[in-house]
Every structure is written in structure tokens, then in C-alpha cells.
Chains A and B, each alone.
Chain A
Amino acid sequence: MKTFEEKFTAWLDGNLRGEDLRSFENDSMRSEKEEFHKLKNLLRENLKGCEMEHPDFFNSQVMAQIERERASGLRRVRTWFGVPRFAWGGVFALVIGSALFFTIIPRSQMRDPRSDYVAEVLKAKTADPNIKATVDNQKDITIIKLENLDKATPEKAKKSDH
């Protein structure tokens, strides 16, 4: 269903047909149409006369701008393939490498499990100040040496045997 505005516009431009057209055909509407045709003619006569001055200069300005943009585009491409590209590439690779190192590789796998035992032993407290603990890290083995410990009594030895 067309609105009144649509029908009116179609009628003015001679595009209305059938029943819709008949509803617009009366004296008052006809005078309205004449008025619109005067307006239409006024606009056409006055607005159509505008001509572009120096049209060839217009072209030359457009084409000069296109050539400038092309040249700057080529320069941008050349610069991108130059030194800055490699510098940025290096920075990018470093960032990616660091991110992988700290996120993907589990931290637990990087720790030496032996260090936990060593820390456990060294952390243990004793009332005897003469007891001395020393750690000797060798290639495939860690030696923890405890000096001045009491000798185990036979009862304690038996318990530990069980």
C-alpha cells in the first residue's frame, strides 16, 4: 500500500495508473500539478546550465593525485621491505618466543626435582648446633653430608629395620 506522498509524487511524474490516478484527477489537483511543472521547469532551466570550467585541468589534477598516491604507495612498499621490516620482525619474534617460553613450557619441568630433597634436608632444624650439613652437587648426583650426628642406639636401629 503506497502512502499519499508516494502516490502524489508518482502522479506528478506521470507514473500513476488506474484507480489511484482517478482519485487525483480533479480541478484543484490539476492546478497543483501545473504549479509543480512550473517549479520543475524553473529548476531545470537554471540548474542545468552549470558547466565545468577548464575540464582538462580537472582531469590533470585528478590524474596527478592518482600518480602521487601510486608513487607514495610504491615507496611504502619499498620501505616495508627495508631495514624497519627486519627490525620489527626481530622484535615480533622475540615477543612470540618469550610468550611461548613462559606459557607453553610447564614451569615444573624446568625445576630439578633433586633440589626439593636438598631443601627439605637443609630446612630441618636440630637442637644440636654441632650438626653440620653440606651439599655437594656433582654431574649426576647430589651428595648431602651430615656431620656430628649421634650414633643410633640398638633399639632405634631395630625399629628402623622393621
Chain B
Amino acid sequence: MNEVQERSSKIVADHGPSDTVEPDDGTLVKRCQAGDSSAFNELVTRYRTKVFTMVYGMVQNEQDAWDLAQEGFLKAWRSIHRFKGQSSFYTWLYRIMTNVTIDSLRRKGIHGEAEFDDRISPDSVEPGSRTTPSSVPLPYKKVEHNEIRQRIDQAIAKLSAEHRAVIVMKEIEDLQYSEIAEILECSIGTVMSRLFYARKKLQSLLRDVYENL
């Protein structure tokens, strides 16, 4: 838990000017509970990038990730009066986001055994879509990177919603097992077991990619 709070402080430091002290999550949450929507706006600013990255990692579609992140923030606002501070705001928000995303994946009938998703076929990718980090790579590198990204997206599309969630939280967000268990409301053993199977599946699907890098 302390680690999460430390992480939250780090995020504040990343976004805020160095000479001003920004209110912590608890203070902003209290203001939200009193009906101050500007405090919620600050929380959205603080967590939008991390939330978007996590949701995007699970759905591999920018528009869906945008919509789901918005839906998650709206749900958080609607139920913020029920937030008692038993976990960090960050964990609580992630739980909402994960549930929203998993529900969406389930509605779309994604159970981890589907064939490759047509939506992410090479033809449907916008030529100008940004799939690389901010640095501008050489053209051939960019093509190569896009291909790798597509392979990763296709591999993740073969995972169940629950397996995607643990992979994204562990491999991208670098959360601890206990944090993932708290967010997904399951045991640490379940998290570790899901990680095992998700990694095994990704390993079999992406072996040729990482072996040839």
C-alpha cells in the first residue's frame, strides 16, 4: 500500500511544478465528495495517462481505450462518495477501470480463444497512426516496429480479459502481486497462476518475434 502511495506522489511530482505543493489524492477525494468537480478534474489529469495506457494495453484500440477510460472516470465520479479510503485512490480507480474494461471485453465475446481480431488487421491500421514512442525512428525501423506491435496486439487478443489484465498490470505497470490482487479482487495465488498461463501463451505466440530481435 505504501508503495502505491509513493507511486502516487511520484506522479504528482511528474506533473506539478517543483515549487508548488499539489494536494494529495486524499485531499482531492474529500473535495470531490463535497461536490467539487474541479478537484476531480485534477485527479483525471493526474491519472489519465496511466489509466489510458492500461486500458489500451487490454483492448488494443485507441478509440475503445479512450471511451472506456472516460466511462471509468465517470463511474469513479458517480461512486466517489462511497470511497472510504480503505485502499489508495489509485488502486480504487484501477479496480473500476479494470472492471469496465473486462466487462467490455466480455460483452464483445472475448474469452481468450477467439481468432485474430479483424479490427486490428494490418489493413485497418491508419497509415498515420502513432504506435511508437515520441522519438521519431527511421522509416524502416518504424515499419518494423509497427509489425512487432501488430504481432503483440494479435497475441494479446488471444488472451482472456482476466489474463490481459494481469499481463498489463504486471509487465507494463509493474504492479506488485498484492496490488493486482486488490484491484482484481482475487487472491495473490490466482494472480500468479493467471500470470503463469498468460506468459506461457504469449511466449508461444511471440517466440519468433523476440528471438529475432
CA distance A66 to B149 in the complex (A): 35
Asked if A79 lies at the interface with its beta carbon under 8 angstroms from chain B, I say no
What string of 1s and 0s marks CB contacts (under 8 Å) between B134-160 and chain A? 100000000001001100100000000
Q: Is the CB of A3 within 8 A of B193?
A: yes
**Chain B interface secondary structure, helix, strand, loop or mixed?**
helix
Asked if B11 lies at the interface with its beta carbon under 8 angstroms from chain A, I say no
What string of 1s and 0s marks CB contacts (under 8 Å) between B48-83 and chain A? 110011001100001000100110011001100000
Asked if B167 lies at the interface with its beta carbon under 8 angstroms from chain A, I say yes
CA distance A58 to B203 in the complex (A): 35
Specify which of B77, B196, B203 lies most central, judged by the most chain A CB atoms within 10 Å of its CB.
Answer: B196
* Minimum Cβ distance to chain B for residue A60 (Å): 9
* Minimum Cβ distance to chain B for residue A32 (Å): 9
Asked if A144 lies at the interface with its beta carbon under 8 angstroms from chain B, I say no
Q: Is the CB of A2 within 8 A of B189?
A: yes
Residues B166-190 near A (CB distance < 8 A): 167-168, 170-172, 177, 189
Residues A3-47 near B (CB distance < 8 A): 3, 5-6, 8-10, 12-13, 15, 35-36, 38-44, 46-47
Asked if A59 lies at the interface with its beta carbon under 8 angstroms from chain B, I say yes
Asked if A62 lies at the interface with its beta carbon under 8 angstroms from chain B, I say yes
Give the number of A-B contacts (CB < 8 Å).
117
Given contacts A38-B213, A43-B172, A59 and B41 within 8 Å (CB-CB): yes
Report A-chain residues with C-beta under 8 Å of the C-beta of B170.
13
Partner of A50 from B56, B77, B171 at Cβ < 8 Å: B56
Q: Is the CB of A43 within 8 A of B171?
A: yes
Complex interface: stretch among B101-109, B113-121, B204-212: B204-212
* Minimum Cβ distance to chain A for residue B164 (Å): 11
Nearest 4 pairs of A and B residues by beta carbon: A49-B133, A5-B196, A9-B192, A38-B210
Q: Could you list 27 A-B pairs, sorted by A, with CB under 8 Å?
A: A5-B193, A5-B197, A6-B193, A9-B196, A13-B170, A36-B203, A38-B210, A39-B210, A42-B209, A42-B210, A42-B213, A44-B171, A47-B53, A47-B171, A51-B53, A51-B130, A51-B134, A52-B52, A58-B48, A58-B66, A58-B69, A59-B44, A59-B45, A62-B44, A62-B74, A63-B37, A66-B77
